[in-house]
Amino acid sequence: MLKPSLARVYPGTARNLAALARRLRAGELVAVPTETVYGLAANALDARACRKIFLAKGRPVHDPLIVHLHSARELDRVAEANTTARRLAKKFWPGPLTLVLPKTSAVPDIVTAGRSSVAVRVPGHPLFRRLLKLAAVPLAAPSANAFGYISPTTAEHVRLGLGKKIRHILDGGAARIGLESTIVDLRNPRRPRLLRPGAITRAELEQALGRKIAVGRRPSPRAEPHQAQLAPGMLARHYSPRTRVVVHQFFPRNWMLAKDEAWVAIARPAGRLAKNSFWLDARGGLRGAARQLFATLRRLDDGRFKKIHVELARGGGIADAINDRLRRAAAR
């Protein structure tokens, strides 16, 4: 029996982009780079093509997809926008902000988990934007990994994880941000609600709107819902390595850790370090820590450790996004 071949990785040449755009219009899947993480894209208006995403990822159909547009001018094609949405779009698009809005009839139910709303954004990655323009259709694209596993931030992560289930990967380099987009529920424009923190912070959103934004409650791991989710990334356990993750507010000084357990700090600790000690950013910069978080978890997950202890980020802003991913990765 022939073994399935690994997906082909395409450099971002004009010829390759044109070929991949044709494949997307034909209903095929293409893994794509974004500024957040790599996504697995299909024509968002083609229900059959989008179903392939769920099959390739092993993703449950109650977890909806994000629809990506080339321009905010295309928003009315897939969603019923309001003044609040247009205000945030003008401020933050292209960029890592996803808005949840009432959907139009053009969007298949498979994309939205059967709900009457759709999650939508205009990405900022230049290569993905060129592909969107050439494809000339909105693209649904969740993270390009097996469902529930650590999100991919390089083309190689995608190849190692889904390389036998998909055929095409567009290489756009390492993701600049490294965490999934901020998601805001704007179905009721008078009551915006932050569903998932990301690189665009709650404070930046509130400043843009001139008002407070409510924060959606995280689901309990003991009562995992199986009904249709409002937006992706809402499940209690997500972004998880196979190795157990344990989160800590801080690491005690002189903590003796077993050799088969790794620990990860935000900044490089002072003094002599054990071989199982790691950090996300040498100087403790939170943007740098966010960029390296998923890649570090992937590397340690392949390191035959029994546990991965991780220090939570301190402060607000993107620290909230880092800690959100860590707590979901550690949920049991």
**What pLDDT, in 10s, does the model give residues 164-212?**
999 999 999 999 999 999 999 999 999 999 999 999 999 999 999 999 9
Of the two residues 224 and 205, the one the predictor is more confident about is: 205
Residues of each domain in the chain carrying CATH 3.90.870.10: 8-223
Q: Residue 94: is the preceding peptide bond cis (ω within 30°)?
A: yes
Count of C-beta atoms within a 10 Å radius of residue 272: 6
Q: How far apart (Å, rounded) are the C-alpha atoms in residues 204 and 206?
A: 5
- Label residues 57-84 b or e (16+ Cβ within 10 Å = b): bebeeebbbbbbbbebebbebbbebbeb
Quote the pLDDT of residue 258.
Answer: 85
Contact indicator for 134, 32 with CB cutoff of 8 Å: no
Q: How confident is the model at residue 250 (pLDDT cuts 50, 70, 90)?
A: confident
Res 252 pLDDT > 80: no
Tokens encoding 177: 């941000």
Res 66 pLDDT > 50: yes
Res 158 pLDDT > 80: yes
Quote the pLDDT of residue 22.
Answer: 98
Give residue 282's Cα distance to chain centre. 24
| Helix or strand holding residue 66 (H, E) | strand 66-68
For domain 8-223, the question of CATH label 3.90.870.10 is answered with yes
Instruction: Look up tokens 């769920």; give the residue.
Output: 54
Instruction: Look up tokens 């157990």; give the residue.
Output: 244
Q: Give mean pLDDT, residues 128-156.
A: 98
Q: Quick check: helix, strand or coil at residue 261?
A: strand
Quote the pLDDT of residue 4.
Answer: 57
- Which range has the worst mean pLDDT, 65-74, 218-227, 231-240, 291-300? 218-227
Quote the pLDDT of residue 286.
Answer: 97
Distances from the Cα of 98 to the Cα of 93, 185, 211, 304, 307, angstroms: 9, 9, 19, 36, 33
Percent of the chain at pLDDT above 90? 84
In single-letter form, the type of residue at position 271 comes to G
Quote the pLDDT of residue 2.
Answer: 42
Tokens encoding 44: 């968002």
Contact indicator for 28, 53 with CB cutoff of 8 Å: no
Q: How confident is the model at residue 312 (pLDDT cuts 50, 70, 90)?
A: very high
Res 272 pLDDT > 80: no
Contact indicator for 184, 93 with CB cutoff of 8 Å: no
Res 163 pLDDT > 60: yes
Strand partners, 121: 68
Q: How far apart (Å, rounded) are the C-alpha atoms in residues 121 and 130?
A: 15
- Mean pLDDT for all residues in the chain: 93
